[in-house]
Amino acid sequence: MSTLTNLAHYITRRPQRIALLQQIAEQGAITRAAKAAGLSYKTAWDAIDEMNNLAGQPLVQRSIGGKGGGGARLTATGERLLQLYKRLEQLQSQLFEAAEQDGDMQLLGRLMLRTSARNQLSGTVHAIHEQGRNDLIEVDLGNGKRLRAQITHESTELLELRGGAPVIALFKAGTIELLAVDEQADGTFNELTGQVGQILEDRDGPCEIRIDLGHGQTLCALLPRDRLHRLGLAEGQPVRACFAPTQVLLGIPT
């Protein structure tokens, strides 16, 4: 199954995401599209980042400035996804009408996982290294970037992981440590380089840093204000995101 089809299945369970894409196509601005879809501006960009990450390429193209927080339009991939979703929605409606037993529908609902992890990156299994009862899974994210996930050997078998298999890597924003270009990193950690795309400061909690990895993939990291100021991070500045393989969970597209 293609990445685009997997993503269409994914957002089938999140109707506000497709509503957001539909409104972006109609409104041409994130602020108006978010309001029409019943989302805050921040939540709308969180959703766009997540969908871009899972697609492995941009679905929405943003232009800086202008009324309503800048203009935005769907890319050609975003347009194809919107059309694919509509076709899948029609098929889904026909299948659900055929499901006559309530127990079957309840079981289906339990199998549809929703996660609180802010970072979800799609990739393929590059290699599997056995480490006793655990396996170290190398995941190719494309664009020359890889990460590692340490999971149990039983999980590897349960997920039926093998070279080339599509996977989704999930990890929380709070597990990421940001380092300046010249800082030394722990060699056992994953390290992804990118540019600071956006900084959202919060007086009452950690600051949110969005990191552009290229090819439409974005990371979200949480950083204490004092650490943010010590690093002197600014939008457009290169930065390294480090996190332990033990903090990465793996899932497989359904």
Domains annotated on the chain, with CATH: 3-111 (1.10.10.10), 116-254 (2.40.50.100)
Tell me, what's the pLDDT at 65? Answer: 55
Tell me what percent of the residues of the chain surpass a pLDDT of 90.
40
How sure is the predictor about 172, in pLDDT bands with cuts at 50, 70 and 90? very high
Query: For residue range 66-113, what is the model confidence (pLDDT) as tens digits?
Result: 554 558 889 998 898 888 877 776 665 655 555 544 445 444 444 445
Tell me what percent of the residues of the chain surpass a pLDDT of 70.
80
Query: For residue range 189-208, what is the model confidence (pLDDT) as tens digits?
Result: 999 999 999 999 887 889 99
Q: What is the 3-state secondary structure (H, E, C) of the chain?
A: CCHHHHHHHHHHCCHHHHHHHHHHHHHCEHHHHHHHCCCCHHHHHHHHHHHHHHHCCCCEEEECCCCCCCEEEECHHHHHHHHHHHHHHHHHHHHHHHCCCHHHHHHHHHHCCCCCCCEEEEEEEEEEEEECCEEEEEEEEECCEEEEEEEEHHHHHHCCCCCCCEEEEEECHHHCEEECCCCCCCCCCEEEEEEEEEEECCCCCCEEEEEEEECCEEEEEEECHHHHHHHCCCCCCEEEEEECHHHCEEECCC
Is the pLDDT assigned to residue 119 strictly greater than 70? yes
Is the pLDDT assigned to residue 131 strictly greater than 90? yes
> Looking at residues 35-54, what average pLDDT do you find?
87
Tell me, what's the pLDDT at 3? Answer: 62
pTM (two decimals): 0.62
How sure is the predictor about 4, in pLDDT bands with cuts at 50, 70 and 90? low
